[in-house]
Amino acid sequence: MAQVSDTWGPESQARKLYTLGPQVAASSHSKQTGLLKEEAGLQSPLAGGLLLGRKDHLLPRFSSTQGLCLSVTMLLLAPGLLPFLLVISTGGSVPSPGAMPQGCYIAEEAGEQTFRCSQAGLSVVPSGIPNNTRKLYLDANQLASVPAGAFQHLPVLEELDLSHNVLVHLSGAAFQGLEGTLRHLDLSANQLASVPVAAFMGLQIQVNLSANPWRCDCALQEVLRQVRLAPGSGTGIVCGPGARPDLVGQEFLLLTREEELCGTGRGGTRRSTDVALLVTMGGWLTLVAAYLIHYVWQNRDETRRPLKRAPAQPVRSEDSSTLSTMV
């Protein structure tokens, strides 16, 4: 036991330090001082540590500088996380952050998934619209055209608002894929002069076509046969500068009651059939009248002719005797 005490005791340590020299002693002293400072620092509240017994039971926590950086990072990420949290709360699909157009947002209105891009400065139909969208608002933008199949990835879309844009062209397949779902379409306050009839074929929709410079042609008349007008919007369908000079400024619905604008197509075919029937009937009546006139004149000429009597034939004796015998 004496040996052990001599080996590990303080006197033995001092003897060894004296033997190794002053440099080793200074190094050992600095290491011990550093360990003491480290333990003191870990115990200090300003260093952010919490000492529970021994050093190996330490539970670290963030320093004040790290906490400030974390707070700034969370503030910067908050705008990007807001749409994600809204989509999760409404149960909708999450579009990629890069695909979400600026000024657009997802909402739930009257229990239906809604995607609003009103006044977002859009010049084309945006991508990244969730496929479970039921109401889509693209009004008050700078859309000049709607290409084919622009909404075919929206299988449950019921209402589409394209009003207050600068639309001058609609593709014949602009609403392809919406035949069974689309119910309301707003095209008011645009620059449409004419629309293709094919764009509305198969759609069971209520449409607003008011406040456009319509050409008031056969195509528009055919469109009105395919759709139902929104209540109160009929009076806003007025002929624009591209129409015939005598039609400019007039209500289109009033014109269609007085004039058939289609020379071909369904309305034109019906009109041509009616005209052909009238011509045929007139021809038959003319023939009948001509025959009656000819018949009357022919009878009148025959009544004016003198009657010619047949010459009397002499009676033979045999005939007279036979006649007398019979009597």
User: CA–CA separation, 95 vs 93, rounded Å?
Assistant: 6
Listed residue (87, 126, 122) closest to 107, CA to CA: 87
* Residue 251 in this model has a pLDDT that exceeds 70: yes
The pLDDT score that the predictor gives to residue 319 is 54
**Candidates 3.40.190.10, 2.30.30.90, 3.40.50.720, 3.80.10.10; correct CATH number of 143-269?**
3.80.10.10
Task: Quote the tokens at residue 65.
Answer: 């500088």
Taking each helix axis from N to C terminus, what angle separates 218-226 and 265-304, rounded to the nearest 10 degrees? Answer: 110
* Residue 17 in this model has a pLDDT that exceeds 50: no
* Residue 267 in this model has a pLDDT that exceeds 80: no
- Residues near 208 by beta carbon (within 8 Å), at least 6 away in sequence: 163, 185, 186, 187, 188, 229, 230, 233
Range list for CATH 3.80.10.10 in the chain: 143-269
Give the residues across from 159 on adjacent strands.
135, 184
Query: Where residue 110 falls among pLDDT bands split at 50, 70, 90?
Result: confident
* Residue 46 in this model has a pLDDT that exceeds 70: no
What is the average per-residue pLDDT within 93-111?
73
Query: Where residue 275 falls among pLDDT bands split at 50, 70, 90?
Result: low
Within 10 angstroms of residue 139's Cβ, the number of other Cβ atoms is: 20
pLDDT tens string 115-149: 999 999 999 999 889 999 999 999 999 999 999 99
The pLDDT score that the predictor gives to residue 52 is 37
User: CA–CA separation, 175 vs 202, rounded Å?
Assistant: 10
What is the average per-residue pLDDT within 27-32?
45
* Residue 298 in this model has a pLDDT that exceeds 70: yes
Task: Quote the tokens at residue 103.
Answer: 């000024």
DSSP, res 207 = E
* Residue 190 in this model has a pLDDT that exceeds 80: yes
Enter the pTM of the model: 0.54
The pLDDT score that the predictor gives to residue 53 is 41
